[in-house]
A and B are shown apart, each in its own frame.
Chain A
Amino acid sequence: MKPAVFSYLRPTNLQEALMFLEEYGEDAKILSGGQSLIPTMNMRLSAPAYLIDISRISDLNYIKLDGDFLAVGALTKHKDIENSDLVKEACPLLSEAIRWVGHAQIRNRGTVGGSIAHGDPSAELPCVLTALRGEIVIANVDGSEEVLVPEEFFLTYMLTSLQPDQMVKEVRFPIIPKESGSAFLELARRHGDFGLAEVAAVVDIDDEGHLLNVKIAVGGVNPTPTALEQVEEYLIGKKLTDEVLRQVSDLTQESVDPESDLHGTAEYRRELAGTLTVRALKIAVERARGGNNNVQ
């Protein structure tokens, strides 16, 4: 479990990082928190000739409000999100989801940009970003930027549209209004494992409990995190009756195509996606009804 030989490059600013990418991009890997890359290198599942360690670039570590968005720098650590009052205020769904990312040790090192760029379909941040219809800001070597939405960015298992000479610069989570209710649910075999299925949901309701707005995405059950558009549309104007929830579960199960693995059969995970969606919606509506979306 020792990596093959590689050269190590450590840019001090974004400019320099992009320069290295331009020169070595095809043979290089960006090292950020290293929580996914280093194990694959140690197992010799990947053997990049160059490692570009961007962890010392200080100006990509921030959480700030930017218009309708909560803008998070690519090098922001999961732990910083977890501890941020601003995130709790502006995007409680993100606060709730971040605790499901691995273990404390992983959250201490893992970065937001790394998680997004890795493109793991069961990762929590891509799921939240997909539900909220957030944005990914990408830096090009010529200094220009591109803004992509999740469905453009996440292509399939562990594959994104990011090119070898591009880098994730910022991730933009839409601010969740105070009167909305949100919930993130995940079930994993053990605390900290990759989820068998996970759901991120945000709702707005009227005084009678009719749904006015629904944003919902599932993770871990498709090759990419998936916005449940059919469910969203179906729910508008409805109350969460038993019959409606049954329909939600069916629609969810139709929208996912999980794979079987040692931790669960495809059939099980499909059903679980439905169950968790129903439960997440109930919690989100409950929180919206309380007019208090405080996530404990």
Chain B
Amino acid sequence: MKKYVGQSVKRKEDYRLVTGTGQFVADIKLAGMLEAVFVRSPQAHAIIRHIDTSKAKELPGVHAVLIGDDIKGIINPITQFESHSAVPPNVAKEINPKIQYNDESVLAIDKVVYVGQPVAVVVADNRYIAEDAADLIKVEYEQLKPMVDPYEAMKEGSPLVQNQVEQNIQMEFHLSIGDAKRVEQQSNHVLKARVKTPRLSSNPIETRGVIADYDNRTDQIHVWSATQLPFEVRATIAHCLGWTEQNIRVTAPDVGGGFGPKGGVHPEEILIPYISKRLNRPVKWVEDRLEHLTSARQSRDQVHDVIVAYNSDGTILSLRDEFVVDSGAVNFFGFTCAYNTAYHLRGAYKIPNYDIKSRIVLTNKTPNVPFRGAGRPEAVFTMDRVIDMIARKLKLDPVEVMKRNMIQAHEMPYDQGILVKDGARLIYDSGDYPAALNQALAMVDYEGFRERQKELKKAGKNIGIGISSYVEGTGAGPFEGALLSVDSTGKVIAHLGASPQGQGHETVFAQIGADALGLTPDDIVIKVGDTAVLPFGAGTYASRSAVNAGSAMHEASLKLRNKVVAIAGIILGTLPDEIVIEEGKIFSKENPSHFLTLQDIYKRSRPAARPPLPSEIEPGLQVTHYFVPPTVTFASSVHIAEVEVDKETGFVDLQNYSVVHDCGTVINPMIVDGQVQGGIAQGIGSALYEEVVYNESGQLLTGTYMDYLLPTSMEIPTVKKGHQQHLSTRNPLGVKGVGEGGAISPPAAIANAIVDALSDLEIVINQLPVSPSRLRGLIKEAEKKQSTILSK
């Protein structure tokens, strides 16, 4: 049956994308369209004393200038997204969360809480005039003490980022199984460490952008947004503006990358529709790169304090972790990232005593949201650094410690004894982690590497190898739908709620539909990213589209097939069971030469008096299916990094990068390889280059690409890829998500490799990125320490 699933079918969307004929928000031009520009806060924490907009309003070509006072009581603030933040009752019972309300007005009212926060918006004939006018707006601020360090923010009496959030702790929870404290007291080996992951920016190649076009006659508004979640944007516009949801149509056109931060709803997505209605004109706003780096939501930024007890053979007995998430000025996603960290931390390992305390803290920085990996890179960096530190303390090879603690294949499905964020039990459904590790070790010739390492050491060269593994809950619910119909030309039109940002949805869903329906991918037209058609949709995030929308596509295709064979049976005078569909030809097994097409079935399916359809068959060829997964399904991976470190300069040369991964059924190997490679590129970025830096006054120091370093193709090796296919047991296709995985392990694998290359110096790397300056500092410190020891 599987004909197209498993094939590297060429991407249907690529012709338009590579010929520059795709349509992104910035490409859309409407008659009479105005352009908006935002005035953003230059202060991290300040009272707005006065705003003078008079000169800006007088500038010819300016149509509107709005500030916070203009929308007070008119536009509701954006609050936590309930769809992502709600804690299921059974999870709440287990982790006892304390949550404080927090929100963000779409234009700052009374005070600003982060650099880059929208303070005013100017709408003009074009962007040039709008920027000229923005320069004429004068804002008087009275500075407040900025909260930059989350530990300081939590102190009693510290200034509050949001007045109603006491001690700036927006949420906290405690998850515990076993008795970690007792185990620590009884253990001979206890390791304590602080492990930090930096704050990151997501940097899609297309920045954000919104167009809104209000229609006075129907009171309807059409909004185009570079979003991952058109349905959430629609719901939030309705909530913030009090408009009828059905009058709002949100379209995500071609979207050039999302990675998570395009999955929240930003203030601009509310304001632009509001202004369009107010002026009764189409209004466009396209974020520029400076705005993206300051104002688009950021991510990560966790500090872990871990205490680990272990045996002399490397068996981990307990793990205690108190971690803080610096969420910036607002937390929209509740415990999404923090709980992801908490439930993923143990990964492929068995750790019976496990105690996690998490605090999500507000500071005067750009708000954080999930970003590719969403709490998992933080967990894996912490866990795999711990594994490596244990190995070095015990003078064991890290591989030995990994194997000592790993869940074995025969133990699957494996119950980790806690709950997933959605309330289901945390049970790994399938996978063989030790086999994946062995496969990866064979790929890099681990023994051979160790030999080579010894040889090169003699010649003064420092090469090192580092390993990381992860187990990742993918394909999060709640659901995704597919609405399929056949049109008069015989094409199958499929509408799905999960819209892409470059992943290749138009291709993979067509592959799935083609196999289920007996068609070719070209017979199926995939339509995505429009709230006008499907009543419900979730979106593309959390490595979920292939699992959820793919399964919905599969099930809906089977439903459509049932209807097609029923009608074909009537026309051909055979039982539906006797009908075969192959490459679009519909025939009876008995007589393949006499075939029908979908066009014939379509004609016969129309409501008609003569000949009528039997009463049990509804006219038309249209079906809908919503797929609701029981819970997440667990993908997994082993990453191995090989580096050479230049001791004198601290430069790290990433020489090879290898991965073995399991994402269940592979729908399109080419696309999967691309996802893995791309994810790893972002992971390498956070290992070696990327960090959002604020100074002590909350000023952003990484506001351009001269300072926020994204790796380019010159810094990224072609990843060697090995595959495993352990099918998911939680959806009809056996698929697991693959979108985020690549980004999860590189920081741990690369840090471990650097530590390994410098093993004689016994350096510890628990902070990212490993910049040459930082690493050279660690090397000098270690050399100094060693020479003091030697001289003693």
The stretch that binds A, out of B241-249, B529-537, B704-712, B721-729, is: B704-712
The 8 Å CB contact of B776, one of A5, A192, A194, A271, is: A271
In this complex, what residue of B is CB-closest to A276? B649
Bound complex: CA A164 to CA B715 (Å):
40
Return chain A residues, CB-CB under 8 Å to B339: none
In this complex, what residue of A is CB-closest to B708? A262
Question: Are the C-beta atoms of A194 and B706 separated by less than 8 Å?
Answer: yes
A234 adjacent to chain B (CB < 8 Å) = no
The 8 Å CB contact of A191, one of B707, B715, B772, B776, is: B715
A268 adjacent to chain B (CB < 8 Å) = yes
Question: Are the C-beta atoms of B128 and A190 separated by less than 8 Å?
Answer: no
CB distance from A107 to the nearest CB of B (A): 14
A272 adjacent to chain B (CB < 8 Å) = yes
Question: Are the C-beta atoms of B771 and A2 separated by less than 8 Å?
Answer: no
Counting chain A residues whose Cβ lies within 8 A of the other chain, the interface size class is 20 to 34
Do A262 and B649 contact each other (CB < 8 Å), given the known contacts A5-B132, A191-B715, A196-B772?
A: no
The 8 Å CB contact of A4, one of B132, B651, B706, B772, is: B132
In B260-306, the 8 Å CB interface with A consists of 288-290
Bound complex: CA A271 to CA B776 (Å):
10
Return chain A residues, CB-CB under 8 Å to B619: none
Return chain B residues, CB-CB under 8 Å to A269: 773
Question: Are the C-beta atoms of A190 and B714 separated by less than 8 Å?
Answer: yes
In this complex, what residue of A is CB-closest to B780? A271
Bound complex: CA A272 to CA B773 (Å):
9
CB distance from B719 to the nearest CB of A (A): 18
Do A44 and B135 contact each other (CB < 8 Å), given the known contacts A189-B771, A262-B693, A275-B649?
A: yes
Scoring A residues 225 to 269 as 1 if CB is less than 8 Å from chain B, else 0, what string do you get? Answer: 000000000000000000000000000000000000011110011
Bound complex: CA A44 to CA B135 (Å):
10
Return chain A residues, CB-CB under 8 Å to B707: 262-263
In this complex, what residue of B is CB-closest to A197? B649
The 8 Å CB contact of A187, one of B128, B289, B651, is: B651
Return chain A residues, CB-CB under 8 Å to B701: 262
B451 adjacent to chain A (CB < 8 Å) = no
B626 adjacent to chain A (CB < 8 Å) = no
In A1-46, the 8 Å CB interface with B consists of 1-2, 4-5, 43-44
In B620-653, the 8 Å CB interface with A consists of 648-651
CB distance from B39 to the nearest CB of A (A): 13
CB distance from A53 to the nearest CB of B (A): 19
Scoring B residues 502 to 520 as 1 if CB is less than 8 Å from chain A, else 0, what string do you get? Answer: 0000000000000000000
Question: Are the C-beta atoms of B650 and A268 separated by less than 8 Å?
Answer: yes
B777 adjacent to chain A (CB < 8 Å) = yes
Bound complex: CA A190 to CA B715 (Å):
7
Question: Are the C-beta atoms of B128 and A2 separated by less than 8 Å?
Answer: yes
Return chain A residues, CB-CB under 8 Å to B712: 103, 190-192
In A168-190, the 8 Å CB interface with B consists of 187, 189-190
A59 adjacent to chain B (CB < 8 Å) = no
Bound complex: CA A2 to CA B291 (Å):
13
The 8 Å CB contact of B288, one of A1, A189, A194, is: A1
Counting chain B residues whose Cβ lies within 8 A of the other chain, the interface size class is 20 to 34
CB distance from A210 to the nearest CB of B (A): 26
Question: Are the C-beta atoms of A264 and B773 separated by less than 8 Å?
Answer: yes
In B319-339, the 8 Å CB interface with A consists of none
Question: Are the C-beta atoms of B772 and A187 separated by less than 8 Å?
Answer: yes
Return chain A residues, CB-CB under 8 Å to B711: 190
Question: Are the C-beta atoms of A189 and B772 separated by less than 8 Å?
Answer: yes
In B89-135, the 8 Å CB interface with A consists of 127-128, 131-132, 135
Return chain B residues, CB-CB under 8 Å to A206: none
Return chain A residues, CB-CB under 8 Å to B135: 4, 44
Question: Are the C-beta atoms of B715 and A264 separated by less than 8 Å?
Answer: no
CB distance from A193 to the nearest CB of B (A): 7
Bound complex: CA A160 to CA B465 (Å):
48
Return chain B residues, CB-CB under 8 Å to A275: 648-649
Return chain A residues, CB-CB under 8 Å to B709: 189-190, 193, 263
In A258-296, the 8 Å CB interface with B consists of 262-265, 268-269, 271-272, 275
In this complex, what residue of A is CB-closest to B714? A191
Bound complex: CA A275 to CA B651 (Å):
12
Bound complex: CA A44 to CA B288 (Å):
13
B353 adjacent to chain A (CB < 8 Å) = no
The 8 Å CB contact of A1, one of B290, B651, B777, is: B290
Bound complex: CA A190 to CA B690 (Å):
11
Bound complex: CA A263 to CA B288 (Å):
24
In this complex, what residue of B is CB-closest to A249? B648
In this complex, what residue of A is CB-closest to B128? A2
CB distance from B271 to the nearest CB of A (A): 20
Do A268 and B132 contact each other (CB < 8 Å), given the known contacts A1-B288, A192-B714?
A: no
Bound complex: CA A189 to CA B776 (Å):
13
CB distance from A189 to the nearest CB of B (A): 5
Return chain A residues, CB-CB under 8 Å to B776: 268, 271
The 8 Å CB contact of A190, one of B290, B650, B689, is: B689
Question: Are the C-beta atoms of B290 and A43 separated by less than 8 Å?
Answer: yes
Return chain B residues, CB-CB under 8 Å to A262: 693, 701-702, 707
Do A2 and B714 contact each other (CB < 8 Å), given the known contacts A190-B709, A262-B707?
A: no
In A190-219, the 8 Å CB interface with B consists of 190-194, 196
Question: Are the C-beta atoms of A263 and B648 separated by less than 8 Å?
Answer: no
In this complex, what residue of B is CB-closest to A4? B132
CB distance from B655 to the nearest CB of A (A): 16
In this complex, what residue of A is CB-closest to B126? A2
CB distance from B34 to the nearest CB of A (A): 15
CB distance from A276 to the nearest CB of B (A): 8
Question: Are the C-beta atoms of A2 and B127 separated by less than 8 Å?
Answer: yes
In this complex, what residue of B is CB-closest to A274? B648
* From B689, B712, B772, residue with most partner A Cβ within 10 Å: B772
Question: Are the C-beta atoms of A264 and B772 separated by less than 8 Å?
Answer: yes
Bound complex: CA A264 to CA B714 (Å):
21
CB distance from A51 to the nearest CB of B (A): 15
Question: Are the C-beta atoms of A187 and B702 separated by less than 8 Å?
Answer: no
Return chain A residues, CB-CB under 8 Å to B773: 196, 263-265, 268-269
Question: Are the C-beta atoms of B771 and A264 separated by less than 8 Å?
Answer: yes
Bound complex: CA A103 to CA B651 (Å):
20
In this complex, what residue of A is CB-closest to B648? A275
Return chain A residues, CB-CB under 8 Å to B288: 1
In this complex, what residue of B is CB-closest to A279? B648
Return chain A residues, CB-CB under 8 Å to B714: 190-192
Return chain B residues, CB-CB under 8 Å to A194: 706
Bound complex: CA A4 to CA B59 (Å):
14
Return chain B residues, CB-CB under 8 Å to A2: 127-128, 131
Do A265 and B706 contact each other (CB < 8 Å), given the known contacts A43-B290, A187-B649, A191-B712?
A: no
CB distance from B107 to the nearest CB of A (A): 21
In this complex, what residue of B is CB-closest to A268? B773
* From A190, A191, A269, residue with most partner B Cβ within 10 Å: A190
Scoring A residues 123 to 148 as 1 if CB is less than 8 Å from chain B, else 0, what string do you get? Answer: 00000000000000000000000000
Return chain B residues, CB-CB under 8 Å to A192: 712, 714
CB distance from B163 to the nearest CB of A (A): 33
The 8 Å CB contact of B772, one of A1, A5, A268, is: A268
Bound complex: CA A89 to CA B783 (Å):
44
CB distance from B768 to the nearest CB of A (A): 14
20 contacts between A and B (CB under 8 A): A1-B288, A1-B289, A1-B290, A2-B127, A2-B131, A44-B135, A103-B712, A187-B772, A189-B709, A190-B711, A191-B715, A196-B772, A262-B693, A262-B701, A263-B707, A263-B709, A263-B773, A264-B771, A272-B649, A275-B649
Q: A265-B777, A275-B649 are in contact. List 18 more A-B contacts (CB 8 A).
A: A1-B288, A1-B289, A2-B127, A2-B128, A4-B131, A4-B135, A5-B132, A187-B651, A189-B689, A189-B771, A191-B712, A191-B715, A192-B714, A262-B701, A262-B707, A263-B771, A268-B773, A268-B777
Q: B residues touching A (Cβ–Cβ < 8 Å)? A: 127-128, 131-132, 135, 288-290, 648-651, 689, 693, 701-702, 706-707, 709, 711-712, 714-715, 771-773, 776-777
Question: Sorted from nearest, which 5 A-B pairs have the closest CB atoms?
Answer: A191-B714, A264-B773, A1-B288, A268-B773, A2-B128
